Amino acid sequence: MKRVHLMSATALCALALSLAACNQNTPTADSGNNNTVSAVKDATTGAVAKVDAEITSSTQGFVQAAAMSDMYEVMAGKVALTRSHSDDVKKFAQQMIDAHTMSTAGLMMAISQSNANVTVPTELDSSHQSLLNDLTGAKDEDFDARYISQQTDAHSAALTLMTGYAKDGDNPTIKAFAQMTEPVVQMHLDMIKMIKASK
């Protein structure tokens, strides 16, 4: 059963990457079409993250996904600080940089305390890098909407990840980290939804 889910996630990832390739070949003159492709790509990458989160109950899988989420959040937040024209978005971006830097430190401490033998990623995977590229390549007038959309998807996926591991995780110390982090992620999701509703 798990193999079927993994194949589904791989298929979705391939679709996201093919959409990324399509987006690079899309003429920039047609702004509407470019935005549509970017929105579909964001949604597809969000779906990949959500599928991955739903099947992640192993410590290695959780650590990989949580660390990747933190890395992306910090990098995306730094881009938003320099690109956004919205005070609300900039404030949220700074909060994400601070919170996800702290989350990474908490995760590393939990790994150390649990003596878990896991590999922590040091760079973004292709789907997160594609999202970051899409964010940095957004036109000024499209940037805030793109960032808000990505943040909504990313925090929805992160909430699923934290909830899943907090319930079914196989390492008690890292499971406690997930349980403590879950309400923080929910708060971030609520915040970005409020910003989205105000736009």
Domains of the chain by start residue, with CATH: 2-198 (1.20.1260.10)
User: In whole angstroms, what is the distance from residue 90 CA to residue 195 CA?
Assistant: 11
Which pLDDT value is given to residue 55? Answer: 53
Helical pair 126-136 and 2-24, crossing angle rounded to 10 deg: 30
User: In whole angstroms, what is the distance from residue 147 CA to residue 83 CA?
Assistant: 10
Q: Token pair of 199, please?
A: 């736009």
With vertex at residue 62, the alpha carbon angle to CA 194 and CA 171, rounded to the nearest 5 degrees, is 120
Which pLDDT value is given to residue 57? Answer: 75
Which pLDDT value is given to residue 91? Answer: 98
Three-state secondary-structure class, residue 58? coil
Q: Are 53 and 65 contacting, i.e. CB atoms less than 8 angstroms apart?
A: yes
- pLDDT, tens digit, for every residue of 48-90? 455 454 456 789 999 999 999 999 999 999 999 999 999 999 9
Structure-token match 């990324």, residue found: 20
- pLDDT, tens digit, for every residue of 104-134? 999 999 999 998 999 999 999 999 999 999 9
11 vs 90, residue with greater confidence: 90
Structure-token match 């935005």, residue found: 35
